[in-house]
Structure 1
Amino acid sequence: MYSIPHIDLRGKVSAVEWQTRVELAAAYRLLVMHGWDDLIHTHISARIPGTEDLLINAFGLAFEEVTASNLVKIDIEGNVLDEDSPFSINPAGFTIHSAVHHARPEDQCALHIHHPDAIAVGSCKDGLLPYSQYAAFALASMSYHSYEGLAVNPDEIKRLQEDLGTANFMLLRNHGALTMGMTIGDAFMHMYDLIRACEIQVKLQHSLDSVHTVHASVIDGIKAQAAIVHTGETGGQKAWPAMLRRVKRQYPHFDI
């Protein structure tokens, strides 16, 4: 009940798989550090580069218990690939991830959370509004998906994929937020921007003053800027090593 099976996969998997495991475990710890976790629910999934295999958290572990070794390797249908693994996954919870990884094979990472401010903004008729620079980043690549209950209906999966399209940011109305990324760091940075934007919007909703908004022409132009600022060598991949160091200081043993 209180103990977690100990696994140490260091030296037992490829270098690229181990690096993916370390970065994905760090992403789970970052969700805890930012207050974005939801008990044992929601997921971050990441494709192991050069393969079709995915990594995801073991069902039943709190996010601060996720380590590089206890992440579960699965195929895109959610089948556990390591027969000796003592862990399982939540098949229903993986449905959204399976859908978006099918639709976006070029992306490594899908990050889904149930942040209250994201749910609040996504539940509003007009969705995310251009109230901040964070919102401008998100609105440059934004999509929405209406709530239909638990995402287990094959017809809804198709609609989810269609609604996502090529966007990197999605608000799941009445449900939460989803971001995609070419790397784990990119998906995290996208979620950081989206949650900041939603937090600011919620703070402004009861303002008695008129709110300055980001002009539509700026949002149109910021898409290219966002690719430089929050991804690539000068953006997400510059910030991401700092995030890994932050996790290592807070959780010295996450990378076991």
Structure 2
Amino acid sequence: MVGSRSFSDASLPLFAGTAPASKRPETVKQPSYIRDHRKRLRDRFLSGGATAMPDYELLELVLFRAVPRQDMKPLARQLLEVFGDFNAVISAPLPRLLEVAGVGEAVATELKIVEAASHRLSRARVLQRQVISSWDALLDYCHTTMAHRETEQFRVFFLDRKNVLIADEEQAQGTVDHVPVYPREVVKRALEHNASALILVHNHPSGDPTPSSADIDMTGQIRDAARTLGIELHDHIIIGRSCEISFRARGFL
């Protein structure tokens, strides 16, 4: 019969769902130099922690989970070149991450998981704790969640009579230089939480935490509205790229 082939013909395609053993993903071995490099980095991290590791090596450790069989040092260095430092890479918006050559869904997802974990850990250090005794942790949380944002975000911390932080809420998101804030809504949420005091927080994407006249006016409006209901405004903190400003410390409250 013309064109017929025996079942022993090596040119026949394999059955659906199979592939030659040499090409199956699970049999592709990691090059020894990559495997050894990864082991050395992991050992250093486990023995000495992250403090002695430069940003690109810490970033490599994160990327190892997303891409199991490639040298991740070039991508780690490229991400740092684009965004600046480890925190900025982790905090970068998803669309911007995906614009970087070599960053696919797996890499972007891994970075966002690390970001979410860091936010949750830092939040756990301040929620249900007295603010006075955990002030540094509160500032760390604010910087972790807000310092590298590309748009303004306005948050409110609600405190009880003992100054224990009972709730943390994002009230509004805005643009690169403005966020809409409604004093009535802030006070309404305070009443719903049965809060006795408030701390306001927002970020300046420019990196400069110096308050604008609009920031000062808005703070005064919230202070006055809260005070009529017996709620104290303890502070308003503006988060910059690497520092913050306290309205209370600067004499604005």
TM range (shorter): under 0.3
Would you tell me which structure has more helix in proportion to its own residues?
A: 2
Question: If the length of structure 1 is used for normalisation, what is the TM-score?
Answer: 0.23
The structure showing larger relative contact order (alpha-carbon pairs under 8 Å, at least 6 residues apart) is 1
Question: If the length of structure 2 is used for normalisation, what is the TM-score?
Answer: 0.24
